[in-house]
Structure 1
Amino acid sequence: MPTPRETILQALLAALQTVPATALRGDVLPERVPAEGLLILRDGEPGEPEVTLSPLAYHYQHRAEIEVVVLGADRDATFDTLCASIGAALAADRTLGGLCDWVEAEAPRPVDLAVEGAASLKAAVIPVVLHYTTADPLA
């Protein structure tokens, strides 16, 4: 049985798979980026939890990351549309089906990446903060 952390990350990936782009988890950047764009979910860092003692509970603000990569002549518009779609997918269910207390994305930090012999890519990392509570830091 997966841990709450793994279940939450799987639910986040499922939410990203509703966006009109290819969504992967933990993969390396493939040689070819799909025309509609590419999302790669990185597990990120759960950080140091706040602890309550009665009952014992660990309250996390886990920072996952979504790498967004687009290419093509209209990459700025595609990137903007993709970011808006990610925001809409997260806003549709801020608790990921009740698994989290709250899910919140932060603003992307876009960069243009030159690729030798090919069209340049526009990429960004979008931090996503997952607020959740577990009874055990390893469960």
Structure 2
Amino acid sequence: MSARETILTALHTRFSMLPTCALRGDVLPERVPAQGLLILRDGEPGEPEVTLSPLRYHYQHRAEIEAVVQGTNDRDAAFDTLCASIGAALAADRTLGGLCDWVEAEAPQPVDLPLEGAAGLKAAVIPVVLHYSTADPLS
């Protein structure tokens, strides 16, 4: 597996330990679980900085987490709890077991999405910046 895939898999595994449903690259399901839903998107590795001798590619990869809660009662509190759990999961190990130099999330920009005939959603895309280096952009 490439370094990028190994890191994204480790990030997904970290979120899978939370009491919410954590998916990777899936579409939003018809029903959002009561604890909320996280969908990890691979994002963009961006243009690396390159150092020579030894040759290394240094990435600031921007993955994204779609965080979603649904309901009418305490939706704001549930969303806040979900975002806090993401932050706590990242803060527990900022290097993902040594796979990254550093992992940091950016602040969410939540939106309320009404649904006809169902309880509305509160959702946000949370960018997660993964700082890592590889010897080859394809490995």
TM-score past 0.5 threshold: yes
Alignment: residue pair count: 138
User: Is 2:123 the partner of 1:118?
Assistant: no
TM-score (norm: length of structure 2): 0.98
| Residue identity (%) | 82
Task: Tell me what 2:45 maps to.
Answer: 46
Task: Tell me what 1:129 maps to.
Answer: 129
User: Is 2:7 the partner of 1:14?
Assistant: no
3-state DSSP class of the match of 1:13? helix
1:75 and 1:48 map into 2 onto residues whose CA distance is 38
Q: 1:37: Cα distance to partner? A: 0.2
2:55 and 2:116 map into 1 onto residues whose CA distance is 54
3-state DSSP class of the match of 1:104? strand
Task: Tell me what 2:78 maps to.
Answer: 78
- For residues 40-92 of structure 1, what are the alpha-carbon distances to aligned partners after superposition, in whole Å with 9 as ceiling and x for unaligned? 00000000000001100000000000000001121100000010011000000
3-state DSSP class of the match of 2:119? coil
TM-score (norm: length of structure 1): 0.98
Task: Tell me what 1:67 maps to.
Answer: 66
Q: 1:19: Cα distance to partner? A: 1.6
Contact 1:21 1:38 in 2 (8 A): yes
3-state DSSP class of the match of 1:27? coil
The one-letter code sitting in structure 2 at the alignment partner of 1:32 is R
- The runs of at least 4 aligned residues of structure 1 exceeding 4 Å deviation read none
Contact 1:46 1:60 in 2 (8 A): yes
Q: 1:18: Cα distance to partner? A: 1.8
1:26 and 1:81 map into 2 onto residues whose CA distance is 23
Contact 1:44 1:64 in 2 (8 A): yes
**Structure 1 portions without partners, runs of 5+:** none
Aligned residue runs from structure 1 range 83-122, under 5 A = 83-122=83-122
